[in-house]
Amino acid sequence: MNNKKNIHVIVATGEWDQDNLRYRRHRLAEYLESHPDTEEVIWVCPSITKHADSFRLLENGIKQYTANDIHSHKLSRFGRYFDIFYKGKLQRLKRYLDGKSTQSSLYLWCTFPGFPGMVDLCAWKETIYDCSDYWASSITGNKNIVLMMREKSILQAEKRIAENVDKIFCTSDFLYENLKQEYNIKADQFVMENGVEYDLFQTSEKPTGMERKSDLVLGFIGGIKPKLDFDMLYRLMSLKSNWELLLVGPDGTDGHPDFKKLQSLNNVKWVGKVPPMEVPHYMNALDIGILPYIKSPYNNAVFPLKLFEFLGAGKPVVGMNLPSTQKFSEQNVYEYLINDTADNVIATCETLTSTSNASIVKRRKELAASKDWKNIFEKMYQIVMK
């Protein structure tokens, strides 16, 4: 009988609390940490900050192992995709895992294409690529020499991972098909969309100090990035001065002029980043969740975390330019717009406010409950452990 405990190593994009947001990889790490068969979870990530010790025990019991970027400037991040720049920084981790390999089973979860040499680092029992982004594509869709070099770097790293792991999970149908077409995939592939911590959103609490001053409150919660359609939102909120737009999340726009222009409107409120546990409170401060994405190759692959979170809070959702979410389109629940003009968004929101009732709210919650993270990760775990 095999009584070995499991050590799960998760390759992540950055330090655990880097921007105060909780992504799929964070929830996966917490699920694995709580599993009775787990000995420990190690969060391996690049860092722009030099730490005295590469190993650090986080408050949640997960160990973090950092490998410093060659420089703090964004352009230096290309080093994450080439062995020569990080291999030496992973040697302490390798020695640690080699020492554990006789009494523990080692599992590797790559959640982005960085550190591709991790697939060969030690004697893994299983290797997994959990693909949640169209990593090589620019968020804005722009093309220049720097972005082309970035794309080439990421593609060669992703190819190495995708063609050598044992299992692949994708958060959208687009990502599933893209990996299949781009690489010589030998692994079993599965689509596992993003989910929701359903119980967390079953609260009526609202954020303190926020007074309602408008007829209707639209809201977007998450990282504020150039993948959002700031121009459309500006036109929308200019047309509906009696409505309010609530934006919650850190600014990742690098000073994007259209985001600054949007903030100039009196009926647009941006509160910045908030603690993850307070996100449900802000959900309760709005009437309609909005997923205002631009049309781009990057967004073709996106399956936003907030879709089922809005629904879990009982809120209707209006989304656009997210083809991977269209399969969940349902009247008065998730309104997916092909015509994403400001006028059409307004008409859709007006219809939603006039048709909402208890049975519709119940249906939204039912759909969200079926996508609880625990159910998703249990399916993934069973597939990996087979």
- The amino acid that residue 367 corresponds to is L
Q: Would the pLDDT of 363 be above 80?
A: yes
In the numeric block, which tokens belong to residue 135? 């990593």
CA 236 vs CA 217, 218, 231, 285: distances in Å: 12, 11, 9, 19
Q: Which residues contact 288 (CB under 8 A, 6 or more apart)?
A: 216, 217, 218, 219, 315, 316, 317, 318, 349, 352, 353
At 2 the pLDDT is: 59
Nearest to 9 by CA among 76, 101, 87: 101
DSSP state of 254: S
Confidence of residue 48 (pLDDT cuts 50, 70, 90): confident
In this prediction, residue 74 carries a pLDDT of 77
Residue range 8-32: mean pLDDT, rounded: 93
- Comparing 211 with 194, the larger pLDDT belongs to 194
pLDDT bracket for residue 25 (50, 70, 90) = very high
Copy the structure tokens of residue 383: 């597939």
- pLDDT of residue 285 exceeding 50: yes
Domains of the chain (ranges, CATH numbers): 5-195+372-385 (3.40.50.2000), 198-369 (3.40.50.2000)
Q: Report which secondary-structure segment, H or E, holds 175.
A: helix 173-182
What confidence category does residue 75 fall into, taking pLDDT thresholds of 50, 70 and 90?
confident
Which single residue is written with the structure tokens 């499991």? Answer: 6
pLDDT of residue 73: 79
CB of 29 closer than 8 Å to CB of 62: yes
pLDDT value of residue 1: 43
- pLDDT value at 143 more than 80: no
Confidence of residue 70 (pLDDT cuts 50, 70, 90): confident
Name the least confident of 125-134, 135-144, 360-369: 135-144
The structure tokens listed for 20 are 């105060």
As a whole number, mean pLDDT of residues 312-337 equals 97
What SS3 class is residue 384?
helix
Q: Is the pTM of this model over 0.85?
A: yes
The answer, yes or no, to whether residue 105 has pLDDT greater than 50, is yes
- The least confident of 6-10, 20-24, 72-76, 239-243 is 72-76
> Which amino acid is located at 143 in the chain?
K
Mean pLDDT of the chain: 94
